[in-house]
């Protein structure tokens, strides 16, 4: 025999899981100190400068 499922409860459980996943993602994006954010930005800028430094003349950006 099949298991009886309360659709309202299943819907709420799914919404809670999605909300928790979104919260975990936001913790990664926004839950950092100012020093960590600045370090990441500096690393990104350095990487872009190195990449641009390897461009050949006449290439379109």
The string of pLDDT tens digits covering residues 31-48 is 888 999 899 999 999 999
Is the residue at 36 inside a domain? yes
The pLDDT of 4-22, averaged and rounded, is 96
Q: In terms of residue numbers, what domain contains 16? A: 7-53
pTM for the predicted model, two decimal places: 0.48
For residue 16, is it within any domain? yes
Per-residue confidence (pLDDT) for residue 53, from 0 to 100:
87
In this prediction, residue 26 carries a pLDDT of: 92
Q: What mean pLDDT is predicted for residues 5-29?
A: 95
3-state secondary structure the chain: CCCCCCHHHHHHHHHHHHHHHHHHHHHHHHCCCHHHHHHHHHHHHHHHHHHHHCCCCCCCC
pLDDT for residue 41:
94
What's the confidence (pLDDT) of residue 19? 98
State how many domains the chain has. 1
Does 37 fall in a domain? yes
């Amino acid at each position: 025999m099949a298991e009886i499922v309360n659709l309202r409860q299943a819907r709420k459980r799914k919404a809670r899981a999605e909300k928790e996943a979104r919260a975990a993602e936001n913790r990664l994006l926004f839950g950092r100190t100012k020093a960590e954010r600045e370090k990441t930005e500096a690393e990104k800028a350095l990487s872009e400068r190195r990449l641009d430094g390897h461009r050949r003349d006449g290439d379109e950006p």
